[in-house]
Amino acid sequence: MIETPYLLFLGDAPDMLAAKVAQGIRDWRPENAIGQFRMEGCKADMNLPDMTLAEAKAAGARTLVIGVANRGGVISAAWKKVLVEALEEGFDLASGLHNLLRDEPDLKAVAEATGRRLHDVRVPSVQYPIANGEKRTGKRCLAVGTDCSVGKMYTAMAMDRDMKQRGLKSSFRATGQTGILITGEGVPLDAVIADFMAGSVEWLTPGNDPDHWDMIEGQGSLFHVSYSGVTMALIHGGQPDALILSHEPTREHMRGLPGYKLPSLEMLRDTALPLARVANPACEVVGVSVNTQHMGEDEAQSYLAEVEARMGLPATDPYRFGAAKLVDALVALG
Amino acid sequence: MIETPYLLFLGDAPDMLAAKVAQGIRDWRPENAIGQFRMEGCKADMNLPDMTLAEAKAAGARTLVIGVANRGGVISAAWKKVLVEALEEGFDLASGLHNLLRDEPDLKAVAEATGRRLHDVRVPSVQYPIANGEKRTGKRCLAVGTDCSVGKMYTAMAMDRDMKQRGLKSSFRATGQTGILITGEGVPLDAVIADFMAGSVEWLTPGNDPDHWDMIEGQGSLFHVSYSGVTMALIHGGQPDALILSHEPTREHMRGLPGYKLPSLEMLRDTALPLARVANPACEVVGVSVNTQHMGEDEAQSYLAEVEARMGLPATDPYRFGAAKLVDALVALG
């Protein structure tokens, strides 16, 4: 578990896109983001107070989170200077970079000398069990996508926020690097060893109050040949009571796979639901989440209306138009 | 790649069942098994010549393969004595044990001093790529099961043998510890990191002659919640042209999951085939392989006849009655 609140390290981000981890934290857990640390030339801005390490420390920040992608696969000398200073100032460090903090001898040595922790959220820190398939108490919701990167995490985040605003019991359960950095805990599922994937999801979503919902972050897609095994493990390890179908209508082929067309929402429903019912016979598809970022407002609204009519399910873009419809559907499930 | 031929180490096996790795090698690659090494009290016998290390060395053996399970999760002092001597005599060691040979300081030191290799086939030795989903030349066949441990490996082995006897081009592709020890190479799929599972299967079954068949060893089951992700990665990474449905009719529940019933062969077909067609639209289900070991001869034959009539597919127990029917079906596919 990563200690909050955070100071967000934006480094020398060349643009906003490079700082999407910081953006996720700012959007979904603003209470975790006390300020931002920007180096010379930084082109990203989270509209948070710019702080020095000392100022952030005084304001109560516990962890410096690397909220930006690094260039060229190395942690630069300029970054290093800040990271070492942060450890000396008493911050833990947290990172989702492919280059692990722990693999940098200087960071490792300073962390040991100062008693600070290096959180590399890309690699598991837990010995997960093999899944036992036993029915757990409490409820679980999982978004499954026609493709990767269609908004499954944002859907779960938006539903979790809406649930909490209604005073309902909900926990967002992170299964990827960004989600883990946003919430401070979770399972880096794509880095888990095959035999333990479903078990890690069981571990992440343990038995809970009967009226508590886990909003599980989805990964991959049953139709994406590179990552479908990860999705399968989420469906069986998560034993969801409710599935949300997630889609991005303007995509011309599966992400990174030019020869592969996206399936229809009907195909996704008819594939995912029977598989989910292996682990939870009561599972239902309750709604559709559409990523409309590449559509105008009218186009988006008419697309959603068409989907609702065709699928007989509530459909929304939870980031753009709110998640209320999807949460209503969960509540109706009882 | 493990160097052949082997001397099979049976240790102090309490019974034949404990030596099933040795049995697999003896059954499927007898040309790889020059002899057996038995310690005092060994209750297993492969009907191979008993040899000392020196005799086996003189007969040309290159690797001592641990063909027996160890008791209590430790490599005993009595075993160690033999293993160290084998390294000194010039043998490589190969093992599928959970305890890795490389984690034993004495074995590691002697192997380094003698220049011998320690093959721990339970852990990957290759950095696998992420699957790219590109169509490969050549043909591939995969057995998918209603459950784990229903005879998928034996089905692929038996089909591979029959293909070779007919002069057809075929390679058995091992994806588990036993298969890797039998053939000397493969991918330990259950130990591969999630993101690279499908890519490891692509790596294992590369482009080949148009009339060459890879007989891919199946793993897990789409209906086994602990391991379904591994099966999914095999189906998408292997992009099979042909699926064989594998079943064990006397099993009362999914292996290790008392609350879970086995699916019907029809459910398996209707679930696996659409998923396989995501990666290979030309995929067909060509036959059924039934593990009849717990059935009498008449019972087995009448069960197979019933399955053939019901499914409209050739059905056999390839271990008991031969794989010819299944190979005929592959050949008919063209």
Does the pLDDT value for residue A303 go beyond 90? yes
Which bin fits B90, alpha (ψ -120 to 50), beta or left (φ > 0)?
A: left
Whether B64 and B204 share a structural domain: no
Assess contact for A173 and A216: CB atoms under 8 A: yes
Q: Averaged over A19-37, what is the pLDDT?
A: 95
**Structural domain harbouring A45:** 6-120
Whether A74 and A196 share a structural domain: no
The answer, for B277 touching chain A at a CB cutoff of 8 Å, is no
The list of chain B residues with pLDDT below 50 reads none
Give the per-residue pLDDT at A176: 95
Enter the DSSP assignment of A50. B
B322 occurs within a structural domain? yes
Q: Averaged over A104-122, what is the pLDDT?
A: 97
The CATH number linked to B48 is: 3.40.50.720
Q: Which residue of A has its CA nearest to B123?
A: A193
Does the pLDDT value for residue A198 go beyond 90? yes
Q: pTM for the full model? A: 0.94
SS3 category, B214: strand
What is the band of A334 on the pLDDT scale with cuts at 50, 70, 90?
confident
Contact A225 B190 (CB under 8 A): no
Give the per-residue pLDDT at B7: 98
Give the per-residue pLDDT at B73: 76
Give the per-residue pLDDT at A71: 79
Supply the DSSP string of B27-38, one letter for each residue: HH-GGGEEEEEE
Give the tens place of pLDDT for each residue, A223-266.
999 999 999 999 999 999 999 999 999 999 999 999 999 999 99
Q: Among B200, B202, B221, B225, pick the best mutation site for testing chain A contact (most A Cβ within 10 A).
A: B225
Assess contact for B3 and B45: CB atoms under 8 A: no
SS3 category, B148: coil
SS3 category, A37: strand
Whether A283 and A321 share a structural domain: yes
Whether B170 and B62 share a structural domain: no
B133 occurs within a structural domain? no
Give the closest residue to A21 by CA, choosing from A55, A59, A89, A70.
A70
A97 occurs within a structural domain? yes
**Which helix (H) or strand (E) is A88 found in, with range?**
helix A77-89
The CATH number linked to A183 is: 3.40.50.300
Give the per-residue pLDDT at B197: 98
Whether B78 and B169 share a structural domain: no
Q: How far is B223 from chain A (nearest CA, A)?
A: 7
Q: How far apart are CA A274 and CA B73, in angstroms?
A: 39
CA diameter of chain B: 62
Q: Indicate the residue type of A67.
A: G
A144 occurs within a structural domain? yes
Supply the DSSP string of B269-306, one letter for each residue: HHHHHHHHHHH-TT-EEEEEEE--TTS-HHHHHHHHHH
Assess contact for B134 and A258: CB atoms under 8 A: no
Give the closest residue to B286 by CA, choosing from B303, B302, B269.
B269
What CA–CA distances, in Å, run from B208 to B21, B26, B135, B283, B290?
29, 28, 11, 17, 29
Give the closest residue to A37 by CA, choosing from A25, A23, A24, A52.
A52
SS3 category, A139: strand
Whether B105 and B176 share a structural domain: no
Contact A223 B278 (CB under 8 A): yes
Q: Which residue of A has its CA nearest to B220?
A: A195
A248 occurs within a structural domain? yes
What is the band of A26 on the pLDDT scale with cuts at 50, 70, 90?
very high
Contact A194 B190 (CB under 8 A): yes
Main-chain phi, psi angles of B8, to 5 degrees: -90, 120
Strand partners, A119: A94
The answer, for A233 touching chain B at a CB cutoff of 8 Å, is yes
Look up tokens 């098994």; give the residue.
B33
Q: How far is A73 from chain B (nearest CA, A)?
A: 17
Domain count, chain B: 2
Residues of A in contact with B240 (CB under 8 A): none
Contact A232 B229 (CB under 8 A): yes
Contact B225 A279 (CB under 8 A): yes
Main-chain phi, psi angles of B124, to 5 degrees: -65, 145
Q: Among A122, A195, A200, pick the best mutation site for testing chain B contact (most B Cβ within 10 A).
A: A195
The answer, for B171 touching chain A at a CB cutoff of 8 Å, is no
The answer, for B261 touching chain A at a CB cutoff of 8 Å, is no
Residues of B in contact with A130 (CB under 8 A): 226
**What length is written for chain A?**
334
Does the pLDDT value for residue A276 go beyond 80? yes
For A292, residues 6+ apart whose C-beta sits below 8 A from its C-beta are A249, A299, A300, A303, A304, A317, A320
Enter the DSSP assignment of B144. E
Contact A259 B230 (CB under 8 A): no
A131 occurs within a structural domain? no
Contact B194 A239 (CB under 8 A): no
Domain stop point among B88, B120, B152: B120
Which bin fits A47, alpha (ψ -120 to 50), beta or left (φ > 0)?
A: left
For A22, residues 6+ apart whose C-beta sits below 8 A from its C-beta are A8, A9, A10, A33, A36, A44, A46, A65, A67, A68
Does the pLDDT value for residue A81 go beyond 80? yes
A133 occurs within a structural domain? no
Q: Which of B132, B229, B271 sits opposite A197 (nearest CB)?
A: B229
What is the band of A70 on the pLDDT scale with cuts at 50, 70, 90?
confident
Whether B110 and B145 share a structural domain: no
Residues of B in contact with A256 (CB under 8 A): 132
Does the pLDDT value for residue A73 go beyond 80? no
Contact B274 A279 (CB under 8 A): no
The answer, for A274 touching chain B at a CB cutoff of 8 Å, is yes
Main-chain phi, psi angles of B193, to 5 degrees: -70, 140
Give the per-residue pLDDT at A145: 98
Give the per-residue pLDDT at B208: 98
> Of all residues in chain A, what percent are helix, strand and coil, respectively (each to 5)?
40, 20, 40
Give the closest residue to B250 by CA, choosing from B290, B192, B278, B286.
B290
**Which helix (H) or strand (E) is A190 found in, with range?**
none
Contact A190 B191 (CB under 8 A): no
Whether A178 and A33 share a structural domain: no
Assess contact for A56 and A92: CB atoms under 8 A: no
Whether A108 and A12 share a structural domain: yes
Q: Averaged over A128-150, what is the pLDDT?
A: 97
Range with the poorest average pLDDT among A24-28, A305-309, B202-206, B279-283: A24-28
Give the closest residue to B333 by CA, choosing from B306, B303, B313, B308.
B313
The answer, for B281 touching chain A at a CB cutoff of 8 Å, is no
Residues of B in contact with A132 (CB under 8 A): 226, 256-257
Contact A193 B197 (CB under 8 A): no
pLDDT cut 90: percent of chain A above it = 96
The answer, for A133 touching chain B at a CB cutoff of 8 Å, is yes
Supply the DSSP string of B171-199, one letter for each residue: EEE--SHHHHHHHS----GGGSBGGGHHH
Q: Among A142, A200, A278, pick the best mutation site for testing chain B contact (most B Cβ within 10 A).
A: A278
Assess contact for B154 and B292: CB atoms under 8 A: no
SS3 category, B57: helix
What is the band of A211 on the pLDDT scale with cuts at 50, 70, 90?
very high
B127 occurs within a structural domain? no
Q: Averaged over A151-159, what is the pLDDT?
A: 96
For A267, residues 6+ apart whose C-beta sits below 8 A from its C-beta are A223
Q: How far apart are CA B241 and CA A54, in angstroms?
A: 62
Whether B76 and B187 share a structural domain: no
Assess contact for A97 and A66: CB atoms under 8 A: yes
Give the per-residue pLDDT at B272: 98
What CA–CA distances, in Å, run from A229 to A269, B19, B197, B237?
17, 32, 8, 10
Residues 212-231 of chain A with CB under 8 A from chain B are 222-223, 225-231
Q: Cα-atom radius of gyration of chain A, to the nearest Å?
A: 20
Give the closest residue to B290 by CA, choosing from B245, B323, B256, B247.
B247
Q: How far is A56 from chain B (nearest CA, A)?
A: 36
Whether A102 and A41 share a structural domain: yes
Residues of B in contact with A135 (CB under 8 A): 259
Whether A214 and A328 share a structural domain: yes
Contact A227 B198 (CB under 8 A): yes
Count of A-B CB contacts under 8 Å = 131
